[in-house]
Every structure is written in C-alpha cells, then in structure tokens.
A and B are shown apart, each in its own frame.
Chain A
Amino acid sequence: MADTVVRTRRQVSVEGPPKGAGRLPRAAVHHPWWFALPAITVFVGFFLVPNLLNFYYPFTNWSSYHADIAFTGLDNFRTIADDGSLLRAIRTTLLYALLAALFQNGFGLVLALLLEADTRFNRFFRAVFFLPVLISALATGYVFQALLDQDGAVNSLLGTDVPWLGSTTWTLVVVTLIHGWKWMGLAMLIYLAGLKGIPGDLLEAARMDGAGPWRTFWSVRRPMLAPAVTFNVTTALIGSMNTFDIVQATTGGGPAASTEVFNIYMFRIFGQGLYAQASAMSLVLFLVVVAVAIPLVVGLRRREQLL
C-alpha cells in the first residue's frame, strides 16, 4: 500500500509541471552542452571551415607564383572548362563511382549468399574475403599493377600480351574492378547482417507455398535487404567519388588521362603550384557529391519504405 502511494506521488512530480518549462532545464543539467563542444569545435574548425573557404579561394589567383592573393572572378573555372579537364573529371569520376559501386555490391552480395549459413567453413572464408579490406588501397594498387602489367604475372600465367592497364577505354573498368575487389568484404558483411535480419518463419512460409530458391530470393529476401542496399550503395558511391590511392598506384590517371578522377587531378595541379585551380576542382567535386548524394539518400529511403 505504502509502495503504491510513493510511486504515484513520484509520477505526479515528474509529469506535473507543464512540458516545455520542466523538460529543458532538466536535460540541460543532465546532459550539458559542453560534452559536445570539443567535437563540434574540431569538426567545424577542420572540416566545415575548409569547405567554406573552398567557396572563396577558387575565385582568386592563389598559387606558388604570386606573393599575394587577389580576387580574379571566374578565371580558374574558365581555365579548367576550356582545357577540357572539368568535363573529363566529372565524367570519369561519375563513371568510376557507378562501376565501383556496382562491382563492390555485386561481389559482396554474391559472397554473402554463398557464405550465409553460420558454419565454421563459412566463418573462415568470410575472414578470407575480408582480408582485402585490411590491406591499404595504395598497396592494393601496387599488387594489381604487378599482376596486370604488360610483363606482369597475369600475362605470363595466361601466355598472353594484353595491355590491361594501357587501354583508354577499358582500363577504367579494370581499375573499378580492383576497387570492387578491395571493398567487397565490407559489403559482404553488411549484406550478411541484412540476410540474418530476415525472420525465419517468413522463409519457411515461402517454402510452404512452394517457392524455389530463386523465387524466395527475388520475392522475399530482396525486398527485406533494402536497408542494407541503401547503406551499401550510398557509401560505395560517395566513397568512390573520393577515390585516389588505387588509381594513383595502378595508372596514375593514365593512359591519356582516361582514369583521371577529381582527386588525381587536384594532386597533379597542386603539385604544379596552381593552388586556386586545384581548389576550383575541389569545389566542383563538392557540388557533384552533393548533387548525387541528396537525391540518392532521399530516393533510397523512399524505396525502403515502399517495399
């Protein structure tokens, strides 16, 4: 009896005062802002401020050839548009991101389906396929350069003489395949988690209704994998637009600039001391990423809810 009385009284005291007035001070006391301030300061100072500065320096003549920095308007954008590097970088990067996301997710999904059951054999091979994620992208690039060079291991093994990294059309595809290879282990883990999240009785019911493995995959598991797909496709597309190491180590942007993505271009131009021009390209990359990311996230979220 006494117990009930105490409990009711406490409830009254918590919910008693009007909502807006009572809540805020209590939250402020218990979870004070200053716990978040260091993180916000570092993030704003070293991530957001540079991105804001990136809206000013592309319009200047900042370079190693000038002592001072003066406003020059759209000159840098005119330069990169006129020499064709702007459109080429946009096209190459988007194509790279698209193919890399495709391969990374394709390989990852196939591996997840092959290694789905929780057996010792499968656990061992999951770790094996995760190994490339642990090797640095730069090292991965060098390994594949040694494999795919014209006098490399693959040609000597097959007895062929294919210039894997020397085609202005196909080398981009080869490099994105390497990118997919490096990250397939991570995509596999996330698809595995997605598969595990599907309730067993759903699959049981599908089997009772006479659905074969293909039908079960297409009609039951594929829609249930939607959150995993959202995460994997978004991170793969956005991450591969920021690619540098694999391209630098395999082709350095060649042949004939056919694999020169944004970051390779910035690296090259910055090395020549044309800082503002590199910054202009960096701003374009920022805008391209935003233009791709927003509709992508919104679209995939909506699709998730529909399925």
Chain B
Amino acid sequence: MTPVMWRYGRPALVLLLAGLAVGVPLWLVAVTSAKPQAESIEPNLDLPDRWQPGANYEDAVSQGEMLRGFVNSLLVVVPSVLLVLLLGAGAAWVFARRRSRLVSAAYALCISGLLLPPAVITIVMELRQLGLANTRPGMIAVYTGMYLSTSIFFMTGFIRAIPMELEEAARMDGASQARIFARIVLPLVRPVIATATIMVMLYAWSDVFYAFFVLGGGDRATLPLNLYQVASAQLYLNNWHLVFAYVVVMSLPMVAVFLVGQRKIVSGITSGAVK
C-alpha cells in the first residue's frame, strides 16, 4: 500500500464504512419513524410520501406509555448509578490503601462480578422472600449488585495511582475520615466517575432482561420493557413507525449524555482498560 493510496483512500473508506454501517440503519430509523403506518408495513429506505413524525411520536407516547416508562426508568437507573458510584468509591478507597490478606480476598470477591453471570432466576426467588419482587428498591439493589464490581475495579486502580500525601496533609490538619473521603477522595476520582456513570447508565438504561424478571410488565415497567411490549404487538399490528419513534426517544438521552461528557468518558474508558 503506497502512502498516496493511504492518504486519499483512507478517508474515502471511512466515509463509505460510516455511510453503510451506521448511516443506513440510522436513516431507516429516522425515516420510518416519520412515516404513516401504511408506508411502513414493509420497511424501506425511501423518504416518506406523507410526513407525520408528530402523530407517530404522539401515538408512541399515548399507546406506548412512553412518559410513564421514562419516569420509571429514571426512578431505577438514577438511584442505581448513584449507589454504584458512592458505595463503589468507599470500597475502592479501602481496597486501594490497605494491604493485608483479608483485604486482597475481599477485593477479589468484590470484583468477581466482572466475570461471573448474575443468577437471574434465584434473584427472583430471593426478592420474593424479602418482599422486594416487582418493586423499585428490588430492581435498584439488583442493578447495584451487578455493576458494583465494575466500578470497584476501575476506581481501585485509579485511587492506587493517587499519591497518599494529599490525604496525609488533610489528616495532619485534623480532618475526620468521612471528611477526607468526601472532600479529597471523591473529587480526585471524578475522572473515573464520569466513565463509570456512562457505563452503568448504558447497561441499566437499556436493560430489558433483568427488568423483565424483577419488575415484570405492569405499571413499573421501564422504557425498554415498554418498547418490548410495543414491538411484540408489532407482529399483529404492523406498527414499525411506532417502534422506531420509540427507539429514537429511548436513545436520545444516552446520546445527549455522551455528547456532554464525551472527552472525559473516552479518556476514562481507555485509561482504565489498558492499565
């Protein structure tokens, strides 16, 4: 491969790949979500003959219970993310700073969730016995348990790289443990927090599998559960236009979060992984 070919061929190849691999699917979503039902029975890439995005999104809201789903999603995802970060940071601080057999064992135990699959069936059993089945606190506890390993793993590696002297200085000044944690450790782990937030949010926001087992349908259903119900009805109703209006609304918050925190997220993901 000559340098000249690389110089002009590479951007052309990138454009072609982006158009085919990302452009086509997104285009399909965008145009179908603006089509009337009759045009969307057999999905294709044509522009709509009649534009009716407003009506479709309205239908998705009224028939698909979108607003309720949105609130339900927020009510489980936000507390889960906060707990994962806060509890994870506390544990990571201890694991990063203390050295003993017991600490290593506890650390190994706590990051085992990186590899092991959650036992979803017996989670249901346990939640029923605790009276937490089909409740939001149950869902929050399950998500927190599932993603704590990730946050502890990333944060422990990160805190180990922070010099002890900063904490020592505060300790000399007579700060309490809780104060040192809140005023020194938490602000210092902010870069990892951005990454952990987006990763946990990504998984929890789009999760349908565990939500199905723990929350079920009903009036606590999250956005993905609602999308699943709308799309399952699709078999009989042929409402691709509604399915895709739903897909757009569900994806926009994540895209917005990514665009806001892009730089931090990217550097956080990469620094944690290759260490």
A129 and B187 CA atoms in complex are apart in Å by 31
Give B183 Cβ to nearest chain A Cβ, in Å. Answer: 14
Q: Is the CB of A134 within 8 A of B208?
A: no
Q: Is the CB of B13 within 8 A of A153?
A: no
Q: Which residues 187-222 in A have Cβ within 8 Å of B in the complex? A: 189-190, 192-194, 196-197, 213-214
A127 and B265 CA atoms in complex are apart in Å by 12
B contact residues, total (Cβ < 8 Å):
91
A143/B247 contact (C-beta < 8 A), A42-B145, A62-B125, A192-B270 known: yes
Q: Which of A1-9, A26-34, A83-91, A164-172 contacts B (4 or more CB under 8 A)?
A: A26-34
A126 and B267 CA atoms in complex are apart in Å by 13
Does A300 sit within 8 A of B, measured CB to CB?
Answer: no
Given the complex, which residues of B lie within 8 Å of A138, measured CB to CB?
A: 206, 208, 224, 227-228
Given the complex, which residues of A lie within 8 Å of B110, measured CB to CB?
A: 39-40, 43
Given the complex, which residues of B lie within 8 Å of A126, measured CB to CB?
A: 266
Q: Is the CB of B91 within 8 A of A36?
A: yes
> Which residue from chain A places its CB closest to the CB of B267 in the assembled complex?
A193
Could you tell me the dominant secondary structure of chain B's interface residues? Answer: helix
Give B118 Cβ to nearest chain A Cβ, in Å. Answer: 6
Does A121 sit within 8 A of B, measured CB to CB?
Answer: yes
Give A94 Cβ to nearest chain B Cβ, in Å. Answer: 14
Given the complex, which residues of A lie within 8 Å of B43, measured CB to CB?
A: 146-147, 149, 152-153
Specify which of B28, B43, B112 lies most central, judged by the most chain A CB atoms within 10 Å of its CB.
B43
Given the complex, which residues of B lie within 8 Å of A139, measured CB to CB?
A: 206, 227, 246-247, 250-251
Does B26 sit within 8 A of A, measured CB to CB?
Answer: yes
Given the complex, which residues of B lie within 8 Å of A54, measured CB to CB?
A: 119, 121-122
Contact with A along B249-275 (1 / 0, CB 8 A): 011001100100010001001110111
> Which residue from chain B places its CB closest to the CB of A62 in the assembled complex?
B125
A132 and B247 CA atoms in complex are apart in Å by 12
Q: Which of A142, A190, A248 contacts B273 (CB 8 A)?
A: A190
Given the complex, which residues of B lie within 8 Å of A127, measured CB to CB?
A: 262
> Which residue from chain A places its CB closest to the CB of B205 in the assembled complex?
A136
A136/B250 contact (C-beta < 8 A), A35-B94, A213-B1 known: yes
Given the complex, which residues of A lie within 8 Å of B45, measured CB to CB?
A: 153, 156-157
Q: Is the CB of A242 within 8 A of B117?
A: yes
Known contacts A147-B28, A270-B124; 7 further A-B pairs (Cβ under 8 A): A50-B118, A50-B125, A132-B25, A143-B244, A146-B240, A189-B270, A193-B274
Q: Which 10 A-B pairs have the closest CB atoms?
A: A136-B206, A193-B270, A46-B145, A39-B91, A47-B145, A39-B87, A54-B119, A53-B122, A146-B43, A35-B90
* Chain B positions near chain A (C-beta within 8 angstroms): 1, 6, 10-11, 13-14, 17-18, 21-22, 24-26, 28-29, 32, 42-45, 83, 87-88, 90-91, 93-95, 97-100, 106, 109-110, 112-126, 141-142, 144-146, 148-149, 152, 167, 171, 177, 181, 202, 205-206, 208-209, 212-213, 224, 227-228, 231, 240, 243-244, 246-247, 250-251, 254-255, 258, 262, 266, 269-271, 273-275
* Chain A positions near chain B (C-beta within 8 angstroms): 24, 27-28, 30-33, 35-36, 38-40, 42-51, 53-54, 57, 62, 111, 114-115, 121-122, 125-139, 142-144, 146-147, 149, 151-153, 156-157, 181, 186, 189-190, 192-194, 196-197, 213-214, 227-228, 231-232, 234, 238, 241-242, 244-245, 248-249, 263, 266-267, 270, 275, 278-279, 282-283, 285-286, 289-290, 293, 297
